[in-house]
Amino acid sequence: MKVCTTKAETRATLAALRKAGDTIGLVPTMGFLHDGHLALVKAATAECDRVAVSIFVNPTQFGPKEDLASYPRDTDRDLEMLRAAGVDVVFMPSPAEMYHADKQTIVDATALSKILIGKIRPGHFRGVATVVTKLLNITQPDRAFFGKKDYQQLRVIKTMVRDLDMPVRIIGVPTVREADGLAMSSRNVRLTPEDRKAAPVLNKALVMADKLVAEGITAKQLEREVRDRIDAEPRANVQSVDVRDAETVASVGGRITAPVVVLLAVRFGDVLLIDQRVVSPQKGQR
């Protein structure tokens, strides 16, 4: 496994692989890896000849009051995990290597960036879209792999790649969960023991949503039921519960007759957890 800290080295390494005829899969991460990240690596390994992983805690996607400084990091452990997973190339730049001091250019999604999580974290998706564009330009992969856990992020990136004609296929990978249903996240280690015990309420509410939609319900009723279920857990501080069209994340009104995605953003202390589930009415009810 080759570990590169500069763009130039990464480009040269991947160019040589491409020249040899290999296809390349990219898995962008912010490190502090877990089995969710490894599921992306596994999907990339299955679909591509070579796998590159980036580890970069991207400052531009954090707001001034967010957890950039306290975001968990353990590079040695990450590299060990990636080596064991058979990854070919790791790109691990410093912020100074990644960004020019006088950078001028950003990439953003005009509407999609401002709704849902974009309302809670203004500027977040601009940072994500810009850094993913840079990572795609540096590594030039055939495919890039992203988790469905970050549902809106996946939508932003797929839309960006479509709109800007970027020559890459974006692949979404299902959410990997802990045994008690909590979606794996690097941020889970920042939960207090009490909050960690309470946090599986997100998945419980999503499983309940699945049942309610199968029985027949309106989008508004579903949002209320899910919110009430999470509010019943006193440690949970609900930021948003949204039921949206599963494909476009557009608002849906009335009775649910097509697949929808239930999107959750919930704080436990100062840790913001997000989760999602796509739910479909039973065939007879569509």
CA gyration radius, the chain: 19
Pair of tokens at residue 91: 């790109």
Instruction: Pick the closer one to ligand AMP by CB: 10 or 186.
Output: 186
Q: Which stretch binds ligand AMP (CB under 6 A): 7-15, 175-183, 203-211, 262-270?
A: 175-183
Burial state string for 210-225 with b = 16 or more CB within 10 A and e = fewer than 16: eebbeeebebeebbee
Give the helix/strand (H/E) hosting 18.
helix 7-19
45, 159, 186, 188: residue in contact with ligand AMP (rule CB under 6 A): 186
Contact call for residue 29 and ligand AMP (CB under 6 A): yes
Q: Which stretch binds ligand AMP (CB under 6 A): 11-19, 96-104, 181-189, 254-262?
A: 181-189
Contact call for residue 93 and ligand AMP (CB under 6 A): no
* Active-site residue, selected from the candidate residues 34, 37, 100, 124: 37
14, 24, 53, 183: residue in contact with ligand AMP (rule CB under 6 A): 183
30, 52, 89, 160: residue in contact with ligand AMP (rule CB under 6 A): 30
Q: Which stretch binds ligand AMP (CB under 6 A): 42-50, 93-101, 180-188, 201-209?
A: 180-188
Which string of DSSP letters, residue by residue, matches 174-221?
PPPB-TTSPBP-GGGGGS-HHHHHHTTHHHHHHHHHHHHHHH--BHHH
Q: Is 232 helix (H, G, I), strand (E, B) or coil?
A: coil
Cα distance between residue 257 and residue 23, in whole Å: 40
**27 close to 55: Cβ distance less than 8 angstroms:** no
Q: Is 154 helix (H, G, I), strand (E, B) or coil?
A: helix
Contact call for residue 121 and ligand AMP (CB under 6 A): no
| Interface with ligand AMP in residues 128-167 (CB under 6 A) | 146-147, 149-150
- CA angle 26–28–31, rounded 5-degree value: 135
Contact call for residue 185 and ligand AMP (CB under 6 A): yes
Contact call for residue 175 and ligand AMP (CB under 6 A): yes
Contact call for residue 37 and ligand AMP (CB under 6 A): yes
Active site residue 124: no
User: What is the binding site for ligand AMP (CB under 6 A)?
Assistant: 29-30, 36-37, 39-40, 146-147, 149-150, 173, 175-176, 183-186
Q: Which residues are catalytic?
A: 37
